[in-house]
Amino acid sequence: MAEETIFSKIIRREIPADIVFQDELVTAFRDISPQAPTHILIIPNQLIPTLNDVKASDEAALGRMMTVAAKIAKQEGIAEDGYRLIMNCNQDAGQVVFHIHMHLVGGHNLGPLLSK
């Protein structure tokens, strides 16, 4: 069984977070160290440590993460100019909290994703 993370406590509202969306499948909240004017984390309410741990039964939550991202981007006023969705898997990709999460970032020109 996966170990509980700080995100589990945010989902249950046991620790404070600026939650912008929550339903039975996902929770979205503002990143405490934003890398762009808009930086929101979207997470499944069920603990899934990495993308490698995703099962077919998780498809509804993962799909909801995408639709919620689009909804929040529109609410934040960044949908028209553009935004980026980022998911990291394991240490080499930069995953720090082992509860899958999607970064919704935007609000200015983000430039190229990767440099050579």
CATH number for the domain harbouring residue 72: 3.30.428.10
Per the prediction, the chain carries an average pLDDT of: 94
Q: How many CB atoms lie within 10 A of CB 91?
A: 10
Instruction: Report the range of poorest mean pLDDT among 41-45, 103-107, 112-116.
Output: 112-116
The number of domains in the chain is 1
Instruction: Point out the catalytic residue in the list 39, 99, 101, 108.
Output: 101
Give the mean pLDDT of 59-66.
97
The whole domain housing 44 covers: 6-106
Question: Residue 71 domain-assigned?
Answer: yes
Residue 50 CB partners (closer than 8 Å, separation 6+): 89, 90, 95, 98, 100
pLDDT of residue 115: 61
pLDDT of residue 114: 65
Question: Residue 111 domain-assigned?
Answer: no
Question: Residue 1 domain-assigned?
Answer: no
Q: What band does 41 get if pLDDT is binned at 50, 70 and 90?
A: very high
Question: Residue 20 domain-assigned?
Answer: yes
Give the mean pLDDT of 64-76.
98
Question: Residue 114 domain-assigned?
Answer: no
β-pairing, 102-106 vs 38-44, is: antiparallel
Which DSSP category does 39 fall into?
Answer: E
Give the integer Cα–Cα distance in Å for 28 and 17.
Answer: 10
Q: For the chain, what percent of residues have pLDDT higher than 70?
A: 96
| Chain segment 84-111, per-residue pLDDT in tens | 999 999 999 999 999 999 999 999 988 8
Can 103 be counted among the known catalytic residues? no
Question: Residue 101 domain-assigned?
Answer: yes
Question: Residue 113 domain-assigned?
Answer: no
Question: Residue 85 domain-assigned?
Answer: yes
